[in-house]
Amino acid sequence: MGKIIGIDLGTTNSVVAVVEGGKPIIVANKEGQNTTPSIVAFTKDGERLVGVVAKRQAVTNPENTIYSAKRFIGQPYDAIKSELGRIPYRVVKQNNDVAIVAQGKELSPQEISAAVLSYLKQAAEDYLGQKVSEAVITVPAYFNDAQRQATKDAGKIAGLEVKRIINEPTAAALAYGVDKKKNGIIAVFDFGGGTFDISILEIHDGVIEVKSTNGDTHLGGDDVDHTIIDFLIAEFKKEQGIDLSKDNMSLQRLKEAAEKAKIELSNMRETEINLPYITADASGPKHLVMKLSRAKLESLCQDIFKRLLEPCKKAMADARMSNSQIDEVLLVGGSTRIPKVQELVKEFFGKEPNKSVNPDEVVAAGAAIQGSVLTGETTDVLLLDVTPLSLGIETMGGIATRLIERNTTIPTRRSQVFSTAEDNQTAVDIKVVQGEREMAADNKILGQFRLEGIPAAPRGVPQVEVTFDIDANGIVHVSARDKGTGKEQRISITSGGGLSKDEIERMVQEAKAHETEDHKKREVIEKRNKLDGAILEIERNLREHRTKVGEEEALKLEQAIEKAKTTLKDDANDSEKLQKGFDELMAASHKLAEILYSQKGSAEKDGKEASSDKGPEKEGPKDEPIDTDAEQK
């Protein structure tokens, strides 16, 4: 079996690694550098440039030099509109997906990422002296299903079979755990160019188990750069009356200067930004010369840095751990070199962060180790990752019925039986949702499909088994099967949508804020469904056993049924009245229930006497409401 390479496909920089002699080796690119800028440029001559050479010509070709494409991968256009004012190249809407325009051609973010992957693939082939066709690629832990699938697609475009998608913090812990041979609870604080993740993991004798994960897919070093750029533009406009944001070439120079200043301020207290001939007006050329202190940078970016703490709190709560239980805090991603970030980490966890790993290279090293596990070269490591958000379907009344809870270890498979919500219903619509809210409409809809051809039958009789399957890459597959006919429909969630910036940041937070309100809504719907089901069941039993109940009792029960129907109609949103209506109906149906149970007891007694060699039969599942079209069983 050939080598499976490990690739950290980053927003700002990317790295490739391979395991040799049991240890991960970072592979240098053709320029001799271990990190490759995730930049792709297209020249007038039709040439495609990748990495350092693309970065070098960015100032003279800003409209056709694409960077930070990872921020757009797997995202719908509407989710990234706020990013568009910050980049010099054009991004357009293409069937609600993102398309990047370069030299008049529309390209998907996957194609841009594929160019970087192809470049790294070539570097690995040059190093190994053999062809490479398989890879493990890392993604932010908080990437949703669409973003993971899009990353796999990018690998395919680059000529790579992606054997596994793994989370960046998990890969870092894998490299750390294998290298240090340590046991304990590890927090991986991964602050990169475009994304932020925090994962809590337990390492014990080669088993690396993720306890929880949280993050923000739109928070990274890019945001620090843009804050510096905005500051420089504002100061220059005050001094010279010229708005540099309208000039793409000036914007590109400002971006490079901002990134350089950010890096320098990690080691210095003050730096000078000097950009001669940044622009010109009627009076002649203009130069930008400004000093920027570390204190000023920290003041400008205080809101960005504050946003790092909330995901940490959520991850600790989900792991059910206190900060004192954390043995090590690993810093991963180039943005963790910022002194203020290190200070915040120390304050939050109450201990000095571990800086023994290379924050730029450790993720690729972990990916390479996972590749060697898949080939069998490494045998003493087991990786247990989790899904970051809950998954389920919409059931009757708009409830989000969860089949897989967030932070469930993957791969995993869960099934649940549902039924129809109406008599003679021959199809059910399965709406797949992702998130933590009680109502389906408040979560992210990942996709939907229809199972048709269900035989016409009374409500609650058909049995539809819905199965969720999350593979080791974190990609979701959903199927629905009619147990009576064997007919089946399935869907792999591969839509280009994904979660928007606001959705991914607020999803769990909103769930907590709306917890009481959501539970009240759910309680009302469940009581409404319970009363509705009881009415239908009692009506059916009364029709079948009216003569055994007696006419007087039957008339009383009919009156109780009508009263319950009135409650269902007039008090549909009153939890107490719905419960009272249910209790009164059940009390009125006691006589009918006694007759049914006495008959059942006699039948069971007769059955035992007639066939004593038969074992007990499993009782069928209770019928509850899917969707507005189906019921949970």
* pLDDT tens profile 531-564: 988 898 888 888 888 888 788 888 888 999 999 9
- Active site (annotated) includes residue 614: no
Residues 215-250 have pLDDT tens digits of 998 899 999 999 999 999 999 999 999 999 989 999
d(CA 96, CA 76): 6
What pLDDT, on the 0 to 100 scale, is given for residue 421?
Answer: 82
Q: State the average pLDDT over residues 281-304.
A: 95
- Catalytic-labelled residue, pool 190, 222, 328, 532: 190
Contacts (Cβ under 8 Å, ≥6 apart) of 111: 154, 157
Residue 282 predicted with pLDDT over 80: yes
Total Cβ atoms within 10 A of residue 461 = 16
Two tokens, residue 624: 């509850």
Contacts (Cβ under 8 Å, ≥6 apart) of 224: 262, 297, 301, 304, 335, 338
- Whether domain 389-513+627-632 has CATH 3.40.50.720: the reply is no
Q: In this structure, which CATH number among 3.90.640.10, 3.20.20.450, 3.90.1150.10, 3.40.640.10 belongs to the domain 221-304?
A: 3.90.640.10
Sign of CA dihedral 204, 208, 212, 216: positive
d(CA 5, CA 7): 7
CATH of domain 4-219+307-386: 3.30.420.40
Contacts (Cβ under 8 Å, ≥6 apart) of 83: 71, 72, 91, 218
| DSSP code of residue 157 | H
> What ranges do the domains of the chain cover?
4-219+307-386, 221-304, 389-513+627-632, 525-588
- Catalytic-labelled residue, pool 70, 286, 444, 633: 70
Two tokens, residue 370: 């996972």
- Active site (annotated) includes residue 380: no
Contacts (Cβ under 8 Å, ≥6 apart) of 177: 186, 203, 206, 208, 381
For residue 452, give the amino acid letter.
E
- Catalytic-labelled residue, pool 3, 8, 83, 442: 8
Sign of CA dihedral 174, 180, 186, 192: negative
What pLDDT, on the 0 to 100 scale, is given for residue 617?
Answer: 32
Rg (CA), the chain: 30
d(CA 29, CA 54): 14
Residue 567 predicted with pLDDT over 70: yes
Residues 162-209 have pLDDT tens digits of 999 999 999 998 888 766 667 889 999 999 999 999 999 998 877 888
Sign of CA dihedral 319, 323, 326, 328: positive
- Active site (annotated) includes residue 190: yes
Contacts (Cβ under 8 Å, ≥6 apart) of 436: 389, 390, 406, 443, 507, 508, 510, 511, 512
Q: Which of 227, 172, 538, 526 is nearest to 360 (CA)?
A: 172
**3-state DSSP call for residue 383?**
strand
DSSP string, 62-118: GGGEEE-GGGTTT-BHHHHGGGGGG-SSEEEEETTEEEEEETTEEE-HHHHHHHHHH
Q: Which of 237, 239, 192, 238 is nearest to 217 (CA)?
A: 192
* pLDDT band at 93; cut points 50, 70, 90: very high
Q: How many CA atoms lie within 13 A of 227 on its CB side?
A: 18
Tell me the whole-structure pTM to 2 decimals. Answer: 0.69
d(CA 451, CA 481): 8
Torsion angle, CA of 132/133/136/140, rounded to 10 degrees?
110
Percent of the chain with pLDDT over 90: 52
Pairing of strands 391-395, 464-470: unpaired
Taking a C-beta distance cutoff of 8 angstroms, is the pair 442, 435 a contact? yes
Q: State the average pLDDT over residues 624-630.
A: 45
d(CA 393, CA 401): 5
Two tokens, residue 380: 């003493």
Residue 627 predicted with pLDDT over 50: no
Q: Helix 590-610 vs helix 515-549: angle between axes, to the nearest 10 degrees? A: 70
d(CA 230, CA 292): 13
- Active site (annotated) includes residue 442: no
**3-state DSSP call for residue 14?**
strand
Two tokens, residue 444: 């992210």
Give the residue with greater pLDDT, 381 vs 566: 566
Give the mean pLDDT of the chain. 86
Residues 382-436 have pLDDT tens digits of 777 888 888 999 988 888 999 998 888 888 899 998 888 888 888 888 888 888 8
Question: Among all chains, which residue has been given the structure tokens 């000097």?
Answer: 274
Two tokens, residue 533: 């089901």
DSSP string, 187-205: EEEEE-SS-EEEEEEEEET
- HEC states along 320-352? CCCHHHCCEEEEECHHHHCHHHHHHHHHHHCCC
d(CA 432, CA 495): 12
Residues 568-617 have pLDDT tens digits of 888 888 889 999 999 999 888 887 777 766 655 554 444 444 333 333 33
Q: Which of 89, 11, 152 is nearest to 473 (CA)?
A: 152
Taking a C-beta distance cutoff of 8 angstroms, is the pair 504, 142 a contact? yes
- Catalytic-labelled residue, pool 97, 134, 153, 168: 168
d(CA 71, CA 409): 26
Taking a C-beta distance cutoff of 8 angstroms, is the pair 391, 215 a contact? no
Among 82-91, 245-254, 450-459, 505-514, which is the least confidently predicted range?
A: 505-514
Q: How far is CA 402 from CA 211, 405, 416, 468, 504, in A?
A: 19, 7, 10, 10, 18
Contacts (Cβ under 8 Å, ≥6 apart) of 74: 109, 143, 144, 146, 147, 148, 149, 150, 151, 496, 498
Total Cβ atoms within 10 A of residue 229 = 19
d(CA 52, CA 559): 82
